[in-house]
Amino acid sequence: MHDFQPKTIIEPFKIRSVEPVRFSTPEEREQALAAAGHNPFLLRARDVLIDLLTDSGTGAMSAKQWAAMISSDESYAGADSFYRFEAAVQGITGLRHVIPTHQGRAAEHILFGALLSPGDIVVNNTHFDTTRAHVENCRAEARDLVIAEGRQPRSLHPFKGNMDLAALEAVLKSPDDGPRVRAVMMTVTNNSGGGQPVSLENLRAVSALARAHGKPFLLDACRFAENAWFIKTREPGQADRTPREIAQEMFSLCDGSTMSAKKDGLANIGGFLALNDGELAGRCRTRLILTEGFPTYGGLAGYDLEAIAQGLNEVLDEGYLRYRVRSIAYLGERLTAAGVPIVQPPGGHAIYLDAREALPHLSPRQYPAWSLNNALYLAGGVRGVEIGTVMFGLQPDGSERDAAMDLVRLAFPRRVYTQSHVDYLLEVILHVWERRESLRPLRIVEQGPVLRHFTARLEPA
């Protein structure tokens, strides 16, 4: 009896508070999508059955998080909730100065504003959109140096988020670029590259290179726990360590970190900036007061700080991480077995469907990923997000270019959907896959000058 090794990985929680989902008919979805200008961003969430638009701020909190929120301290300055938050962040990161912010991009805004001057360079495996935008907003350059495998959708490299060490060293040693590098950053996991992890070995090497050249090394730590789990399960010699121990070592290699607690903070809002450099932290706190609030709340309620403090500890639970990564890998395996092209291997928070490959009858300017995403909605009420030519094709001069890839990201909210939701999702994708030749091109009839995907209106062409 003691040798029972279950193959089924069940949700490591019981559900005691539920939120109904609303079923709709195909006709209702047809109408809702037409009214939304064929743009899923403009749908009302109540018209979506399974919402995979993002894993950011959409997770379910635990009974312990809600309990901690009830007993928050809402004092303007020096609240107990801040000290519990600070202790939770320091317990994992070991970083000396902890500055709460209302979400990840606020930490980026404050840090880069204090750190960067025009002409500086920030090197990253791949900058997330908001990170790049904040670097460029300081008239600095955001340079991506992910390994070549990280740009190949079919490469099975276990750590496709790794930095290209030779390229990094060349930049740091270059007489032109080296002096302009103001920071070296790593995004864990690499969201823009498919949620791919970074190995501990690579983090150690990047940290050593940055330090040898006197550059601060920063972590964009949004999905640090998922990254720690991949290190535990994929990296030689790491299997016997806990996710917490691995995360602690990841942070021990860096000088500072930006974090969106809406991801691996298991909270619906919040973030932080954590730094070792006291002088830089002081300048950041001054900027924080201008835009976010006093340094012990940073734009958050005391109860948000409590939710994050508890969430940061829960997210490192092995049972939780095993279930989290397994449910996404399961979907990836079934899709791969059916021949559906996806970014391989499945990442930590999302499956990325490769629409350009799936729909060769549509050119990038006919928006294959947008068409595929809309078809998933019409067939089964599923909402993902296009990461392709609608999102990235519009150039500052108004011209249009093909994006590097046309993907549909299906990002999983944390602890929200169950195995049967995943099985249903699989059925929806396979149903659309079998009818893929009937998917129609789209054209844009209305768009804004920047970030057009949020508000554009489209029409079947």
Looking at the Cβ atoms of 122 and 359, the one nearer to ligand F0G is 122
Smallest distance, ligand F0G to C-beta of residue 56, A: 4
Q: Is the peptide bond before 187 cis (omega within 30 degrees of 0)?
A: no
Contact 146, 125 (CB under 8 A): yes
Q: Which is nearer to ligand F0G, 106 or 359 (CB)?
A: 106
Write out the H or E segment, with its range, that includes residue 50: strand 50-51
Closest separation in Å from C-beta 124 to ligand F0G: 10
Instruction: Tell me the closest approach of the beta carbon of residue 131 to ligand F0G, in angstroms.
Output: 6
Q: How far is the CB of 375 from ligand F0G (least distance, A)?
A: 21
Q: Which of residues 47 and 55 has its CB atom nearest to ligand F0G in the complex?
A: 55
Nearer to ligand F0G, 81 or 124 (CB): 124
* CA dihedral angle for residue 413, residue 419, residue 423, residue 425, rounded to 10 degrees: -10
In the complex, minimum distance from the CB of residue 140 to ligand F0G, in angstroms, rounded to a whole number: 17
Tokens 């991949």 -> residue: 230
Q: How far is CA 207 from CA 140, 215, 238, 256, 356, in A?
A: 22, 9, 19, 12, 36
Find the residue with minimal CB distance to ligand F0G. 104
DSSP state at residue 126: S
Q: To the nearest whole angstrom, how small is the minimum distance from the Cβ of residue 368 to ligand F0G?
A: 21
Measured from the CB atom, the residue of 307 and 362 that comes closer to ligand F0G is 307
Determine which helix (DSSP H) or strand (DSSP E) holds 354, and give its type and residue range.
strand 350-354
Least distance CB 258 / ligand F0G (angstroms) = 7
Contact 14, 416 (CB under 8 A): no
Going by C-alpha positions, the residue among 418, 429, 423, 426 that lies closest to residue 379 is: 429
Q: Is the dihedral of CA 318, 259, 219, 284 positive or negative?
A: negative
C-beta of 222 vs 359, nearer to ligand F0G: 222
Q: Which residue in this structure is represented by tokens 């979400």?
A: 103
Smallest gap from residue 284 Cβ to ligand F0G (A): 16
**Cβ contacts of residue 439 below 8 Å, gap of 6+?**
359, 362, 368, 371, 372, 375, 432
d(CA 354, CA 386): 10
DSSP 8-state class, residue 382: E
Q: Minimum distance from CB of 197 to ligand F0G (Å)?
A: 13
Host H or E run for residue 122 = strand 121-124
Question: Given the complex with ligand F0G, which of 387 and 439 has the nearer CB atom?
Answer: 387
Q: How far apart are CA 322 and CA 340, in angstroms?
A: 24
What is the binding site for ligand F0G (CB under 6 A)? 54, 56, 103-105, 128, 130-131, 187, 191, 220, 222, 260, 262, 271
Backbone angles phi, psi at 241, to 5 degrees: -90, 155
Nearer to ligand F0G, 62 or 189 (CB): 189
Closest to ligand F0G by CB, 222 vs 391, is: 222
Buried b / exposed e along 397-409 (16+ C-beta atoms within 10 A):
eeeeeebebbbbb
